[in-house]
């Protein structure tokens, strides 16, 4: 799962809901153990997955990490699954 830190609460809830529904999902906040290198763990997880779930939001579009993860997935022709987080959008 790729998401902006600003969307962490939404992403954690989504990950929990998907896990309870039987989905096999990797998420940094849930699956990186203390002492593991964050960047290496992300790279290893991306190398093992056939698809990427991306939480889209204004913050995600501005996140270098999200952009890098999506670019990686596109280069390797992963299936992309997008979910829009409307919770953090500002209303005009």
Residue bearing tokens 């990427």? 52
Band (pLDDT 50/70/90 cuts) for residue 89 is: low
Average pLDDT, rounded, for the chain: 89
pLDDT for position 5: 94
Residue 30 lies in a domain: yes
What range does the domain containing 63 cover? 5-84
Q: Tokens at residue 83, please?
A: 């979910």
pLDDT for position 55: 97
pLDDT for position 2: 95
pLDDT for position 59: 95
CA atoms of 16 and 13, how far apart (whole Å) = 5
Residue 26 lies in a domain: yes
Does the CA dihedral 16-19-17-2 come out positive or negative? positive
Band (pLDDT 50/70/90 cuts) for residue 91 is: very low
Query: How many domains in the chain?
Result: 1
Average pLDDT over residues 58-77: 93
Residue 90 lies in a domain: no
pLDDT tens-digit readout, 8-50: 999 999 999 999 999 999 999 888 888 888 888 988 988 888 8
Residue 91 lies in a domain: no
Coil vs helix vs strand at 91 = coil
Query: What CATH code is carried by the domain that includes residue 69?
Result: 3.40.50.10140
């Amino acid at each position: 799962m790729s998401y902006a830190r600003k969307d962490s609460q939404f992403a954690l809830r989504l990950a929990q809901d998907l896990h309870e529904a039987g989905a096999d999902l990797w998420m940094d906040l849930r699956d990186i153990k203390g002492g593991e290198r964050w960047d290496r763990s992300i790279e290893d997880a991306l190398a093992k997955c056939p698809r990427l779930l991306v939480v889209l939001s204004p913050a995600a579009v501005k996140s270098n990490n999200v952009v890098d993860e999506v670019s990686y997935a596109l280069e390797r022709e992963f299936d992309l699954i997008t979910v829009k987080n409307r919770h953090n959008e500002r209303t005009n």
